[in-house]
Amino acid sequence: MALPDLALDYTLRTVALGAMLLGLSSGVVGTYAVLRRESLLGDAISHAALPGIALAFLLTRSKESALLLAGAVAAGWFGALLVSAITRTTRVKLDSALGLILSVFFGFGLVLLTFIQKQPDASQAGLDRFLFGQAASLLRRDVQVMAIGTLAVLLAVLLLWKEFKLLVFDPDFARVLGLRVRLLEVILISMIVLAIVVGLQTVGVVLMSAMVVAPAAAARQWTDRLSLMVLLSALFGVMAGMSGAVLSSLTPRLPTGPTIVLVVSGLVLISLLLAPNRGLVWNWARSRARRGQVRAEGMLRQLAALAEHHGSLEHGHPSAVLRASGWSPEQVEHVLHDLESTGYVRQVGADRWAITAAGMARVRTAAEANKAGDVSAYLTGSGGEVTGEGQP
């Protein structure tokens, strides 16, 4: 299928739209869940939604997605309510309460699903698609329902922007200001429930929680601003939802939920590695550069001490002499060549190294800054003292 055809294909358009809505709502809501350390509440809620779907079907005998999703909302809500009731009234901790609710509700959902399958009149209710999601089964009506859910979520975030911000970063202060924190928390949980239910048909109950956690965790790496994080998280969610859903509806036997989750996991991995400031690669490069600088300073000080000892800048020293404790010959060579290129050190013969006048000046200013209490110079200087032990 050529690309222009893709844009026109009705099913694909529906699928892509649905997946975008899913990514948008869960990305936005996920930001708050992740920042409030409630990442796994989504897991409990999405598993808890399963019996709601089955019960809605059993009661109404209708496959109308609005009805089924209403059941999912009710059950997800009830699950979240039970989690908070358990942690408030017993000594069972949050983790156990979450695990308990998710597994028991899921189990009950399975009982209902298998029960429905064996009913004579409802041969195939098609409820299986809620387990791992089936983007291809999305209808325009489903997408309309999803759009309403997403809209509600976005509206709540816009209207309660300041309140939620306070709730996330300083709930105690919010209480002091007279905000109704409990009510806000309930609204936030309702938003999580809504966002999850929006994605259920596409991603399925088992993996929906990843859509709440992953885009937000990825977005967190790129920025420290809430507004930017919400936008980025929504963007990542939309990207993952769309590419995953389209991939899976174009490829036979590629379940939608897992595909979307893998795409979003890839985004998280990239963010963890490459995000400026926080990313692991940057971190690694930074600490490597710092280590190199410390080594260079140490080497320079060592050469300066030797030059003073000999009373001349002409006397060269073999690199073996300059090898401080714990440095490999390659590291010494590397540092010396680095210093040579900056003009602080020169080579005066085969494997003979001496400090230049510029190098001496650099050591002196560093020492003076050290005496004057310049903290950064002092810190880099302290590394040199360790290497100084290797002096002959």
Partner 1 sequence: MTAPQVEIQLIAAIVAAACALPGAFLVLRRMTLISDAISHAMLLGIVVGFFLTQDLNSPLLILGATLTGLLTALLVELLHRTGLVREDAAIGLVFPALFSIGVILISRYAGSVHLDTDVVLLGELAFAPFDRVVIAGWNIGPKGLYAGGVILLINAALITLFYKELKLATFDPGLAAALGFSPVAIHYGLMGITSLTAVGAFDSVGAILTVALFIAPAAAAYLLTDDLARMLFLSVGLGVAAALSGYWLAYLLDASIAGSMATMAGVIFGLAWCFAPERGLVAAARRRVRQRWEFAQRMLAIHLLHHERQPGGEPELQMEHLWQELRWDRKFATRVVSLAEGRGLVTQQNGRLELTDRGRLLAQESLLA
Q: Quote the least distance from Cβ 59 to partner 1, whole Å.
A: 16
Q: Spell out the residues 6+ positions from residue 233 whose beta carbon is closer than 8 angstroms to its own.
A: 27, 28, 30, 31, 215, 216, 218, 219
342: Cβ contacts below 8 Å, ≥ 6 apart: none
State the nearest-atom distance from the C-beta of 88 to partner 1, in Å.
11
Minimum CB separation of residue 161 from partner 1 in Å reads: 23
Q: Which is nearer to partner 1, 191 or 212 (CB)?
A: 212
Q: How many CB atoms lie within 10 A of CB 171?
A: 15
d(CA 184, CA 192): 12
Q: Is the dihedral of CA 17, 22, 234, 164 positive or negative?
A: positive
Q: Give the residue with the Cβ less far from partner 1, 93 or 288.
A: 93
Q: Are 300 and 344 a contacting pair, CB within 8 Å? A: yes
Q: Are 157 and 28 spatial neighbours (Cβ–Cβ below 8 Å)?
A: yes
Q: In angstroms, what is the minimal distance from the CB of 280 to partner 1? A: 6
Report whether 345 contacts 356 (CB < 8 A).
Answer: yes
Using the minimum distance from each CB to partner 1, give the nearer residue, 191 or 216.
Answer: 216
Interacting residues of 383 by C-beta distance below 8 A, sequence separation 6+:
294, 295, 297, 298
Nearer to partner 1, 86 or 304 (CB): 86
Minimal distance, residue 285 CB to partner 1, in Å: 15
DSSP-assigned states of every residue in 95-138: HHHHHHHHHHHHHHHHHHHHHHHT-SS-S---TTHHHH--GGG-
Q: Which is closer to partner 1, CB of 267 or CB of 339? A: 267
Nearest one of 194, 151, 170 to 26, comparing CA atoms: 194
Q: Which is nearer to partner 1, 90 or 342 (CB)?
A: 90
Nearest approach, Cβ of residue 386 and partner 1 (Å): 26
Question: In the complex, what is the shortest distance from the CB of residue 32 to partner 1, in angstroms, rounded to a whole number?
Answer: 13
Q: How far apart are CA 2 and CA 59, in angstroms?
A: 45
CB atoms within 10 A of CB 246: 18
To partner 1, the closest distance from the beta carbon of 278 in angstroms equals: 6
Identify which of residues 86 and 138 has a Cβ nearer to partner 1 in the complex: 86
Which residues would be at the binding site for partner 1 (CB under 8 A)? 34, 37-40, 42-43, 86, 89-93, 95-100, 102-115, 118, 132, 206-207, 209-210, 212-214, 216-217, 220-221, 253-255, 257-259, 261-262, 265, 268, 272, 278, 280
Residues whose CB is less than 8 angstroms from the CB of residue 112 and which lie 6 or more positions away in sequence, other chains included: 51, 54, 55, 58
Looking at the Cβ atoms of 81 and 160, the one nearer to partner 1 is: 81
- C-alpha 21/C-alpha 238 separation (Å) is 7
CB-nearer residue toward partner 1: 210 or 303? 210
Phi, psi of 317 (to 5 degrees): -125, 135
> Is the separation of the CB atoms in 205 and 256 below 8 Å?
no
- Which residue, 135 or 206, has its beta carbon nearer to partner 1? 206
Q: How far apart are CA 90 and CA 328, in angstroms?
A: 59
In whole angstroms, the minimum distance from the beta carbon of 292 to partner 1 comes to: 22
> Minimum Å distance from CB 143 to partner 1?
24
Q: What does the DSSP 8-state code read for residue 177? A: T
